[in-house]
Amino acid sequence: MGKRYYITTPIYYVNALPHIGTTLTTLASDITARFQRMRGKTPHFLTGTDEHATKVAEAAAAAGKTPIAFTDEIADQFKAIWRGMNIQYDDFIRTTEERHRAVVQEVFRRLREKGHIYLDKYEGWWDVTTETFYKESELVEGKSPDGNEVRWVEEENYFFRLSAFQNQLLEHIEAHPDFILPEVRRNEVIAFIKQGLRDTCVTRKNTGWGIPVPDDDSKVVYVWFDALINYISAIGWPEGNWEEFWPADVEWMGKDILVRFHATLWPAILLGLELPLPKTLYGHGWLLMGGEKISKSKGNVIAPLDLASQYANSMGGCKDLAVDAVRYYCARMMPYETDTTFTLEDFELRYNTELVNDLSNGIHRVVSMLGSFCDRRIPDGEVIESVKSAAESLVSAIAEDLERFRIDKAMDGVLRLGTVLNETIDREKPWDLRKNGDARLADVMITLAWLVRVLEGVLRPITPVFADDIASLLRLAATESWEGIGHGIAPGHEVSAAKPIYLRIEKQQSETQVKEKTEPVVNEITIEDFMKVQLRVARVLDAHRVEGADKLLKLDLIVGDERRQVLAGIAQQYAPEDIIGKQVVVVANLKPRRLRGLESQGMILAADASDGGAILVVPDREAPEGTSVH
């Protein structure tokens, strides 16, 4: 087998469960792996847990457990949460595993033999929260530069000759512009190294938790030295086929652990071992909440699966689709150079405006129209050239962005494809083409179906369940390769009946489902009276709010071959996006009347809710538009 495309996340401390911040990095890796697989590479995606930290032993003691019993539980929960988030890692490493311990000891032994590790006395300040050593001069008002408590430590310890690698490291960074990304981080690293790298203490006194130093078990290996080695211990270095994996193609992480650890200590260890350096170390920004980094120690944590569960019902009831909504949001918010802020309001807003309106509803409109205008079959037309080239260049740009790890920019591209889809519908007005018997309808509808197929392909690495649902609406297999994006839309191919994938989050949704009060029936009529009312199945092609009338929606209906404009007092219960594509029942022979200066050519049926609102009456299954209702 050729070289694998090797992707890593940091290995997370097990003193806390994954939150939306750690999810961001793991998701970035998952998206990279899924994308690279579509590009024809064989990815190898590693994640795991960092278990030897002092604070882990302390958290275990606080929970009344042995450290290993504690970490076993948490590591299992990490795996379950990642599975729940549809993260497809290939390997999960725990630093308490024997395969890791043996490699850490081997690295230590080799570096000591080469003289890169030596024994000396350590005196200094120790930050337990970040497991970092500081000199007196580095403290800020008696605390670490991050504001954490520090402890004074005086021990005989082993030191790693980090200073010896300073020039080699700078040369490597300067010769490889993609080694540290984004550029702002690269500049920070260069400035940090130029200040002068100090030899760093790589052992601690053995208090029973950690990997013992070979031939000196009074000490354990420093947790960062131990943890960084996971990237090679997991691939079995120095035995077996590790060269199929190494060097890593991308190591994803937050900016907090780039400068002091991944961009200095880690490459220096590799240089000491005479191993090649990772191709890219990518340090993204943070997700903030209330102006602070989301983190366990700040207590402002949101768990990704809780977020999905909280919204699953209002999004349509499917947990996996709700997970994709969280994946969508994290990908969309992927902080590049600066940090981004998470709020529930923003989550709901982006969900409603982007995932529902721009993407899911756009797709729904197309599948509905394929049903209404084309008997659910892809018509025999030609994809419109200008739309095709606009979409194809967006697809290439998305690929370039994902190759360069710019998930944020790739998400802009995905949304722009949604805009191309909606603008094409609005510009071409397929309902008019159909009404006028215009042959161009076939070209427009095949173009729209093709755009939906393109969206399915580009969304696949980001929201795989949403992509599966789109594929099943099109009755096509999943798009497996990036080159295959847009394939499979052939004239005559039959698609499924339309069904919206995502529903809008309505804050009031649960509150309006109150029990209805029934009214006694009065004033009997005869069947002849009833037959005077012509009820017909209609489809809502478009819907808009009416300015100045907060209860009214202006609906564009198709009833048989006819278009109707109907005003309905349902705006407080239904957003335009909720109702577009739905079938309804219309009173077709009601005398037109004017409301708010607009003509209403009929009335749609709705039940009265007890709060004065409306509950739409919809056919139990799709019926051709214009079908009579009795």
Contacting residues toward ligand ME8, per CB under 6 A: 10-13, 21-22, 24-25, 50, 227-228, 230, 253-254, 256-257, 286-287, 293-295
Q: Which is nearer to ligand ME8, 129 or 357 (CB)?
A: 129
**Cβ-based neighbour number of residue 318 at 10 Å:** 17
Rounded to the nearest whole angstrom, what is the least distance from the CB of residue 303 to ligand ME8 in the complex?
13
Rounded to the nearest whole angstrom, what is the least distance from the CB of residue 295 to ligand ME8 in the complex?
5
Rounded to the nearest whole angstrom, what is the least distance from the CB of residue 251 to ligand ME8 in the complex?
9
Q: Which is nearer to ligand ME8, 234 or 398 (CB)?
A: 234
Rounded to the nearest whole angstrom, what is the least distance from the CB of residue 25 to ligand ME8 in the complex?
3
Beta-carbon contacts of 171 under 8 Å, excluding residues fewer than 6 positions away, are none
Rounded to the nearest whole angstrom, what is the least distance from the CB of residue 232 to ligand ME8 in the complex?
11
Helix (H, G, I), strand (E, B) or coil at 394: helix
The dihedral through the CA atoms of 165, 169, 170, 175 has a sign that is positive
Which segments within 305-425 are labelled E, that is strand? 340-341
Q: Which is nearer to ligand ME8, 25 or 264 (CB)?
A: 25
Q: Which is nearer to ligand ME8, 228 or 322 (CB)?
A: 228
Rounded to the nearest whole angstrom, what is the least distance from the CB of residue 15 to ligand ME8 in the complex?
8
Answer for the pair 424, 448: CB distance below 8 angstroms, yes or no: yes
Q: Which is nearer to ligand ME8, 287 or 540 (CB)?
A: 287
Picking from 516, 518, 568, the residue whose alpha carbon sits closest to that of residue 540 is: 568
Rounded to the nearest whole angstrom, what is the least distance from the CB of residue 1 to ligand ME8 in the complex?
26
Rounded to the nearest whole angstrom, what is the least distance from the CB of residue 22 to ligand ME8 in the complex?
4
C-alpha–C-alpha distance, residues 30 and 19, integer Å: 16
Helix (H, G, I), strand (E, B) or coil at 215: coil
Rounded to the nearest whole angstrom, what is the least distance from the CB of residue 27 to ligand ME8 in the complex?
10
Answer for the pair 252, 243: CB distance below 8 angstroms, yes or no: no
CB-nearest residue to ligand ME8: 21
Which segments within 59-199 are labelled E, that is strand? 91-94, 117-127, 132-134, 150-160, 180-181
Q: Which is nearer to ligand ME8, 278 or 464 (CB)?
A: 278
Q: Where does 485-550 have alpha helices with state H?
A: 509-512, 527-531
User: Residue 5 class from Cβ within 10 Å (0-12 exposed, 13-18 middle, 19+ buried)?
Assistant: buried
Q: Which is nearer to ligand ME8, 24 or 538 (CB)?
A: 24
Q: Which is nearer to ligand ME8, 256 or 506 (CB)?
A: 256
Query: Is the link from the previous residue into 335 a cis peptide, with omega within 30 of 0?
Result: no
Rounded to the nearest whole angstrom, what is the least distance from the CB of residue 257 to ligand ME8 in the complex?
4
SS3 content of the chain, % helix, strand, coil (to 5): 45, 20, 35
Picking from 465, 457, 421, the residue whose alpha carbon sits closest to that of residue 326 is: 465
C-alpha–C-alpha distance, residues 32 and 144, integer Å: 35
Q: Which is nearer to ligand ME8, 22 or 463 (CB)?
A: 22
Q: How many angstroms separate the Cα of 502 from the Cα of each of 273, 315, 318, 323, 332?
A: 52, 6, 9, 12, 17
Answer for the pair 417, 455: CB distance below 8 angstroms, yes or no: yes
Rounded to the nearest whole angstrom, what is the least distance from the CB of residue 35 to ligand ME8 in the complex?
19
Q: How many angstroms separate the Cα of 213 from the Cα of each of 71, 104, 119, 206, 361?
A: 21, 9, 12, 9, 60
Q: Which is nearer to ligand ME8, 62 or 514 (CB)?
A: 62
Rounded to the nearest whole angstrom, what is the least distance from the CB of residue 234 to ligand ME8 in the complex?
11
Helices (H) then strands (E): counts for the chain? 21, 26
Please tell me the total number of residues recorded for the chain in this structure. 630
Rounded to the nearest whole angstrom, what is the least distance from the CB of residue 273 to ligand ME8 in the complex?
16
Answer for the pair 588, 629: CB distance below 8 angstroms, yes or no: no
C-alpha–C-alpha distance, residues 374 and 613, integer Å: 35
Q: Which is nearer to ligand ME8, 133 or 502 (CB)?
A: 133
* H, E, C per residue of 257-307: HHHHHHHHHHHHHHHHCCCCCCCCEEEECCEEECCEECCHHHCCCCCHHHH
Rounded to the nearest whole angstrom, what is the least distance from the CB of residue 228 to ligand ME8 in the complex?
5
Query: Is the link from the previous residue into 212 a cis peptide, with omega within 30 of 0?
Result: no
Picking from 35, 6, 1, the residue whose alpha carbon sits closest to that of residue 245 is: 6
Measured in Å, how far apart are the chain's first and last C-alpha atoms? 67
Q: Which is nearer to ligand ME8, 57 or 467 (CB)?
A: 57
**Cβ-based neighbour number of residue 513 at 10 Å:** 10
Q: Which is nearer to ligand ME8, 181 or 442 (CB)?
A: 181
In the chain, the amino acid numbered 186 is: R
Q: Which is nearer to ligand ME8, 11 or 543 (CB)?
A: 11
C-alpha–C-alpha distance, residues 479 and 38, integer Å: 9
